[in-house]
Structure 1
Amino acid sequence: MPATHALMELLGEVALLLWGVHMVRSGVLRAFGGDLRRLLGRALRNRLAACLAGIGVTLALQSSTATAFMTTSFLGAGLIGLVPALAVMLGANVGTALVAWALSFDITIVYPVLIFAGLVVFRTGTRTRSRNLGRIVIGLGFVLLSLHLLVETIVPTGVSPEAKDLIAALTREPLPVLAAAALIAWAMHSSVAAILVIASLAGTGLVTPFAALVMVLGANLGSALNPLLAAASGERGALRLPVGNIANRIIGCLLVLPLLPVLADHPLLARHDPAWLAVTFHLVFNLALAALFIPALSLQARLLERILPDRPLPEDAGSARYLDPRSLDAPRVALANAAREAFRMADTVEEMLRGSRELLRRDDYRLLDELRRKDDVLDRLHGALKRFLSELGQRELGAEECSRLAQVQTVALNLEHAGDIIDKGVLDLAAKRMRRRLCLTEQQVEEAEAMHDHLLAQLRLAVAVFMGEDLQSALRLVEGKERFRDLERAAAENEFAHPPETGLPAETSGLHLDAVRDLKRIDAHFAAIAHPLLERNNLLRPSRLIRLPRAGKAGQA
């Protein structure tokens, strides 16, 4: 057979194998996924039970790699500990060895029956579970068919004595043979396929029994590479499991490799079929690893945690820093801590304002996404602060402490509302402008920037009012609200004095006025921070309206 033709057949057969395993895995997860996860959840409390669960799940999924991915996801999510996860992997290795041992028998009659029966169940099934059962049976048939074709393609029907001598010379050194078998198992993404090919090579006499046993060890190493490479880019906590799994296999290979010449030439083993010897050795090897390492998993877990410590997590901007529950017994300390958290909210709003001003002139979707995340941070800070103040309000507080608590609540609420307006109003308008490729006129940009600068000054005044009970700053803050009305009026007059022509400029005019409206609402929330202090000093009118005398009283006069 030409080399190119053989390579194309191998690629197709490996693809068929992977597709069959995928069909089995997806069918099992769709039909019994919840049951499998509950089985793992119940069994992971005990390492022996976890090992048995790993065997059962691997037999169901027909893939130790799939079991490894499932267990790694549980470990990464913190649902299970490292010790039971390692026990599951020991069981998964035994499970895949059992699959290889069972498939080493004649399967030429089995796969046509499975494919036909699976198709009938899939086409006639009326329920989702029955159709998934059909998918599983078809997948098993594809797996057996692909394995049969792989063996026929790789293993020649007849080999000359000269070729056997050459192959025997090439496979005399164990380490290169072990490395080559590991690469083959990794490329196939299936230790089952690799073991069955090795068994067929040994059965035809193409490789010696010693070389076959070495190749079995290499296949065990290679099948552990895929979960390791998949987890290499993730968190270290999830990386510990595949590292521990491959470390167990490396230790096993180091212990067994020196004994292989004795085992291969032992009279009792030499009388058996080399193919049967290869698959049986694979099963016994994994059973021995499970028995050896299960008692020492706690020690191994501690070593892995020391070698692969958790990376320091970046500080979560949305988590409260100063809301210490222990300070609730000292209300003044608790209020000071709450005030510090409110200052963090003010800093976040300031960052959002500065960023939204940048979006007036340039298109920056990355900055837009970052600013939207800052609103989520603001919401989380406000939620934590609200819960803290609610619990503090249930304590016995003095009049001054009640007043300060109400002030902190007012500040936090107005800052949170201001952030919502920036997110749902100003940023939505910026996104609309970028999406439609609109450009504000230079005058519109200057007006909007002036309003942003005014709001930043207003925010600083609001912080001064809150921090130091500064009455003059409170008066300036409310007066600044009046000045913003002048800015708003001037912007509206400019728009109507110079009406845009038809086309895109008309859209920019409406967009600009909408932004001005939202900025005015933000200014109102900043000014509201000064209201409690002004009310306590009788410097805030109940209403700006001028009360006219009633008609009846006017007539009597």
Structure 2
Amino acid sequence: MNKWGLLLALMGGLAVFIYGMTQMSSGIQLAADRKLKAILQFMTQNRVAALLAGLITTSIVQSSSATTVMTVGFVNAGLISLKQAIGVIYGANIGTTVTAQLIAFRLETMALPAITVGFVMLFVPKNTKVRAFGQAILGFGLLFLGLNIMTDVLKPLKYSPEFIQWFHKFDCSPNANGVMPIGPTIMCILIGTITTCIIQSSSATVGLTQALCAQGLINFYTAVPIILGDNIGTTITANLAAISANRNAKRAAIAHTLFNVIGTLIMFGLFFLPWWNHQPLFLGFVDWVTPGNVFSEHPENIVRHAANAHSLFNIINAFLFLPFVNLHAKLCMLIIPATREDRETVLEYLEPKLLGSPLIALEQAVKEVTYMIRKGQNSLNDACDLFCDGKENLIERIQEREQLIDRLQHDITEYLIELSRKELEPAESKLIPALIHAVNDAERLGDHAESFIELYNIFKQNDLTLTPSAIHEIREIQRQLNVQLEYLYQTFEKHDVDASNKSIFTGGKIQELIYEFTDNHVHRLDKGECSVKAGVIFLDVLGHLERVSDHIVNIAERAEIILNVIR
């Protein structure tokens, strides 16, 4: 096979490896969505818990890029703080080394059986969990199939003097004092960094490095700097994910970069400190904890040594950084400072990067709808103040808030439609239309509030007045609407179904008050206490408030569907 044929075959094997890893990660994420939620709640406790959360999550999904992108999304959505995110990133870097450890077990013989089992499981009807696990098992098989292809392609190269001479240019073997050469070491770090930036998967480039080691094309001295470069290169994914995110999310991405770059610089320094047997300090330590002598003429257990170098680098780095999380966060804030020009986003809780975790995305959607309802409530209270007290300075505020509510309706609906295209549990699928209906009901609160502006203008142009009794009645319904809304908030914030029933019951009381106040109005007309024109406007106000209550009842009636998923 010529050079181009070898290169294409190697790239093909790498493509199968990466595709398998992606499928395995996606399948596990789908299967473990609720577990990810539990881990997320656990991570809010302290920095050690955050590290463990990152480690466990990445060990589950088999991708530090997935975890760091998810973490950037959580920070952007306000789910976790920058300090918590930094702890998660430390753990994610340790968790990502699980793939290299799996490769060191040499499980290539399991590739085809795993592909067969996973493929069959993909066709199990009406069982999302089984299909998700099938996708993960299929990905596992493809990962080792790709590794096997790469190993077979590289095998003939160890007999090629031309290739051996080329690889020799990057040889990082130390001198007699156990000190590694600076030039080749830096070159190998750069090769690892650039390759991983292109592929966007440190697991893939570490796997390729292990394949080169297995065929004797590179030695352990050369493999470790490449692996360190792989760790720097993997930070590109989080930085790309943070481009359109807020400043705090950008800081989380920078934290990942600083962690790996500073850690690599520390290990780079250790290459020039000899271990007791005249080997570089870090490499000597890896050999000491790993069975077999990797420094012998015929290196023993070199693939496991490479995996352990990857793991130990990240473990040591994490524990070096852990006491300095606050300092790390301050450094990130210094690099990306807050500015007055920071634009406040329309969406408070929704984050596109959470779409890969549907349950968390749905929980955030419920929070966003609740936020939207609160905006509608603020507008209603302003509208009542405008109409009853003549506070004209509130008109502009009501109109601006109505524009915000309209934008929220559009953005939340778009987000939910995008989420509906994901593979969801049946209960999650039912929740999406319920939330879309709730969004539409919430939007109507702002519309009714805006209608008060027109009624107020008619009132003012015709020099009309309301009786103190009529104003008191409007205020009483306003008060009851606020009670009804507070019960609704309790429903979603405290996961309390009883509160939704109280909200519906309060809606019934408001209906009774509307009937009572309408009768009172007729009596006032009979007594000549108010004009017919003012009376018509008063009835319009009651009509708008009644319909507001109806929309709140509509949302409360869907509470059980919503709580079945998020609590």
Q: Same fold, TM exceeding 0.5?
A: yes
Contact 1:210/1:261 (<8 A) preserved: no
Matched, 1:245 2:298: no
Q: Distance in 2 between matches of 1:282 and 1:123?
A: 37
Paired position in structure 2 for 1:221: 232
Matched, 1:298 2:326: yes
Q: Distance in 2 between matches of 1:346 and 1:187?
A: 48
Matched, 1:116 2:116: yes
Q: Could you say if the C-alpha distance between residues 315 and 111 of structure 1 is closer, same or farther in structure 2, counting changes exceeding 3 Å?
A: closer
Please give the per-residue CA displacement for 1:178-227, whole angstroms capped at 9, x wherever unaligned. Answer: 11111112222321221122233234443343322211110111112112
Paired position in structure 1 for 2:308: 280
For 2:394, give the aligned amino acid: E
Paired position in structure 2 for 1:107: 107
Q: Distance in 1 between matches of 2:225 and 2:397?
A: 63
Q: Distance in 1 between matches of 2:187 and 2:402?
A: 63
Q: Which of residues 206, 209, 214 in structure 1 aligns to 2:217?
A: 206
Alignment map for 1:35-46 (pairs within 5 Å):
35-46=35-46
Contact 2:58/2:67 (<8 A) preserved: yes
Tell me the percent identity.
25
Please give the per-residue CA displacement for 1:432-463, whole angstroms capped at 9, x wherever unaligned. Answer: xxxxxxxxxxxxxxxxxxxxxxxxxxx9x869
Q: Could you say if the C-alpha distance between residues 94 and 37 of structure 1 is closer, same or farther in structure 2, counting changes exceeding 3 Å?
A: same
Q: Could you say if the C-alpha distance between residues 538 and 232 of structure 1 is closer, same or farther in structure 2, counting changes exceeding 3 Å?
A: closer
For 2:33, give the aligned amino acid: G
For 1:291, give the aligned amino acid: F
Paired position in structure 2 for 1:93: 93
Contact 1:346/1:463 (<8 A) preserved: no
Contact 2:464/2:534 (<8 A) preserved: no
Q: Distance in 1 between matches of 2:55 and 2:168?
A: 35
Q: Could you say if the C-alpha distance between residues 332 and 112 of structure 1 is closer, same or farther in structure 2, counting changes exceeding 3 Å?
A: closer
Q: Which of residues 447, 453, 468 in structure 2 aligns to 1:415?
A: 453
Matched, 1:194 2:222: no
Q: Could you say if the C-alpha distance between residues 59 and 302 of structure 1 is closer, same or farther in structure 2, counting changes exceeding 3 Å?
A: same
Q: Could you say if the C-alpha distance between residues 17 and 335 of structure 1 is closer, same or farther in structure 2, counting changes exceeding 3 Å?
A: farther
Q: Distance in 2 between matches of 1:148 and 1:217?
A: 24
Contact 1:18/1:189 (<8 A) preserved: no
Worse-matched range after superposition: 335-344 or 71-80: 335-344
Q: Distance in 2 between matches of 1:347 and 1:49?
A: 42
TM-score by length of 1: 0.59
Contact 2:42/2:53 (<8 A) preserved: no
Paired position in structure 2 for 1:266: 279
Paired position in structure 1 for 2:267: 256
Higher Cα Rg: structure 1 or 2?
1
Report deviation, 1:126. Answer: 6.4
Is there any run of 5+ residues in structure 2 with no aligned partner, and where?
172-182, 288-294, 348-371, 404-439, 466-527, 537-567
Matched, 1:25 2:38: no
Q: Which of residues 180, 190, 215 in structure 1 aligns to 2:191?
A: 180
Q: Distance in 2 between matches of 1:229 and 1:336?
A: 52
Equivalenced residue count is: 383
Q: Distance in 1 between matches of 2:80 and 2:315?
A: 23
Contact 2:154/2:215 (<8 A) preserved: no
Q: Could you say if the C-alpha distance between residues 294 and 341 of structure 1 is closer, same or farther in structure 2, counting changes exceeding 3 Å?
A: same
SS at match of 1:20: helix
Q: Distance in 2 between matches of 1:24 and 1:176?
A: 32
TM-score by length of 2: 0.58
Q: Distance in 2 between matches of 1:80 and 1:152?
A: 45
Contact 1:121/1:130 (<8 A) preserved: yes
Q: Distance in 1 between matches of 2:311 and 2:42?
A: 26
Q: Could you say if the C-alpha distance between residues 416 and 140 of structure 1 is closer, same or farther in structure 2, counting changes exceeding 3 Å?
A: farther
Alignment map for 1:440-451 (pairs within 5 Å):
none
Contact 2:227/2:310 (<8 A) preserved: yes
Matched, 1:341 2:394: yes
For 1:75, give the aligned amino acid: V
Report deviation, 1:252. Answer: 0.7
Report deviation, 1:68. Answer: 1.3
Contact 2:386/2:394 (<8 A) preserved: no
Contact 1:378/1:416 (<8 A) preserved: no
SS at match of 2:87: helix
Q: Could you say if the C-alpha distance between residues 229 and 156 of structure 1 is closer, same or farther in structure 2, counting changes exceeding 3 Å?
A: farther
Paired position in structure 2 for 1:313: 343
